[in-house]
């Protein structure tokens, strides 16, 4: 099974980490117009900007060395600070999958952290005891809750898994029976993991709706991508701490003396 999954991922040939879209587009500006002085100067400026070291995960280090700045982390990913000491992202296809997994886990963690604080503040029940209700008339058993969760989450995750290998394949109407139109689920930004559109960005944080069509704002989108991945990583770290606290019977609010 592992060998099969590895073979599938290795066959995904991706240019995901072969240079950022923005840097490739900028560097290509002067490729066909080398004769003009202004274009030549612009090309030199772009090359100089691209040569500047990016931020590093190591404090007080700006990057530049092979240890600090692995060659497979070129800065094209939001939140890329050159951190991959185990070399897990050497394969572009695997790196793309790891980023997808990081996004999904981070989004779940952000929702969980908010739910843990708000839930306990509202009800006074610790998050790890929230599913237990001995006083209920007909409480659900652990097995029934676990089975229901596995079925529902398994269906959603299987659709996401298929969409990863075949982007937008889950946007068709038969795959979204609750929607009368598949347009609500089409990836409006063109980036894996960032669907956008009127369904996933109804308030227009990263784009605008004009005549029913969603137009992404690239500058806002890039800024929000970076903010999201930073908050996601912080939330995942927070959840890890919450797990350790729960093992001791403590809660986040209790640890804060609240």
- Tell me the C-alpha distance between 115 and 119, whole Å: 5
Whether residue 42 is annotated as binding a ligand: the answer is no
Phi, psi of 80, deg, nearest 5: -85, 110
Q: Which residue has the tokens 């982390």?
A: 73
DSSP line for the chain: -HHHHHHHHHTT---TTSS-HHHHHHHTTTTS-TTSHHHHHHHHHHHHHHHSPPP-SSTT----STTTS-TT--S-STT--S--TT-TTSSHHHHHHHHHHHHHHHHHHHHHHHHHHHHHHHH---GGGTT--TTSSSPPPHHHHHHHHHHHHHHHHHHHHHHHHSTTGGGSGGG-TT-S-GGGGS-SSSBTTB--HHHH-TT-SSEEEETTEEEE-HHHHHHHHHHHHHHHHHHHHHHHHHHHHHHTT--HHHHTT-
Residue 228 in marked binding region: yes
Q: Is 102 annotated as a binding residue?
A: yes
φ/ψ of 173, rounded to 5, equals -65, -35
Distance CA 107, CA 101 (A): 10
231 known member of a binding site: no
Known binding site: residues? Answer: 102, 105, 107, 228, 233
Known binding site for chlorophyll a: residues? Answer: 102, 105, 228, 233
Known binding site for chlorophyll b: residues? Answer: 107
């Amino acid at each position: 099974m592992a060998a099969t999954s590895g073979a599938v991922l290795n066959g995904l040939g991706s240019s995901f980490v072969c240079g950022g879209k923005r840097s490739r587009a900028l560097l290509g500006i002067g490729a066909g117009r080398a004769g003009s002085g202004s274009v030549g100067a612009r090309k030199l400026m772009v090359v100089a900007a691209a040569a500047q070291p990016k931020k590093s995960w190591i404090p007080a280090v700006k990057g530049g060395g092979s240890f600090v700045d692995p060659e497979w982390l070129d800065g094209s990913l939001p939140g890329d600070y050159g951190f991959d000491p185990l070399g897990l992202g050497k394969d572009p296809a695997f790196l793309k999958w790891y980023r997808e997994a990081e996004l999904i886990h981070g989004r779940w963690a952000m929702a969980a952290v908010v739910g843990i604080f708000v839930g306990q503040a509202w009800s006074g029940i610790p998050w790890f005891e929230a599913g237990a209700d001995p006083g209920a008339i007909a409480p659900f058993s652990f097995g029934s809750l676990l089975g229901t969760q596995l079925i529902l989450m398994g269906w959603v995750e299987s659709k996401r898994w298929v969409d990863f290998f075949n982007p937008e394949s889950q946007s068709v109407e038969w795959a979204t029976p609750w929607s009368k139109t598949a347009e609500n689920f089409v990836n409006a930004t063109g980036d894996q993991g960032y669907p956008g559109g009127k369904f996933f960005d109804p308030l227009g944080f990263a784009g605008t709706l004009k005549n029913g069509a969603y137009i992404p704002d690239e500058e806002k989108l890039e800024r929000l991508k970076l903010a999201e991945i930073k908050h996601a990583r912080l939330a995942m770290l927070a959840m890890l701490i919450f797990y350790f606290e729960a093992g001791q019977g403590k809660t986040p609010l209790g640890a804060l003396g609240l």
